[in-house]
Amino acid sequence: MRSSVLAGCSRKALFSLIVGVSFLAAISVAAQEDTLSGIKNEFYVAFDGWGMAEQLVVSGKYSVNGKMGWIHKNSFAVTVDGGHLNFSRQVSDSIKSFDYRSSGYYVRGGFERNINRRNRRGERNFIFLGMHIGYSLTQHRAQDIVIPDRFWGTRYYSFGTTDHQYVWIDFSVGLRTQLSRHFALGWEVKINRKIYNTGNKSIMPYYMAGFGKTTDPFALGVSYYLFYTLGK
């Protein structure tokens, strides 16, 4: 009889534990739902201001880049971005001189996961981790290549327009801070890893659009965005 009483007490304790855990879980879910309430699936577009400002840091480099994405509440986003790059440089030293120009575009798509769970009701602030894959096509050429030589005389060269393609994967971290219902500011830091390229590997462009410098298989990228969220 004593064992049956103990068994009954154990069942009651187990039942109470299950009810208690369920109650706490319900409170937690309700709190999260309250945090996320009022946030619908949304579509946004963004302009990258760093591409235009970078010419103040890197002479001759100018790019226009944009981004768009679909946000699932405050959870994750599916993004696509792209842009165009122009770069020019005139080189003149004791060994050679030439006029170099390149132009290219890129597209990039992937996912971004929001790890910020401290949004208040109606807020859309993000701390995100992302993974993307990108493709770039860049053309470059060099004209008026002059190589002086006191023994063989001055030599003149040029190479016409050649195409180079890059495919890469990147991992990113970023921040997006809401200014108003429709506008937000943010930044993103990307680590790019080249996984495939075509073209003459002995004469590579200085920069691949969307990727960065071609001197290494890894490249670091930075973007500063102005976001606009569509809808009411």
* Residue of 113 and 16 predicted with greater confidence: 113
Kindly report, residue by residue over 40-99, the tens digit of the pLDDT. Answer: 788 999 999 998 888 888 888 999 999 999 988 778 899 999 999 999 888 777 666 778
pTM score of the predicted model:
0.74
CB contact set of 110 (below 8 Å; sequence gap of 6+):
78, 79, 130, 131, 132, 133, 170
Greatest extent of the chain over all pairs of C-alpha atoms, in Å: 114
9, 40, 72 from 145: Cα distances, Å? 93, 58, 53
Residue positions counted in the chain: 232
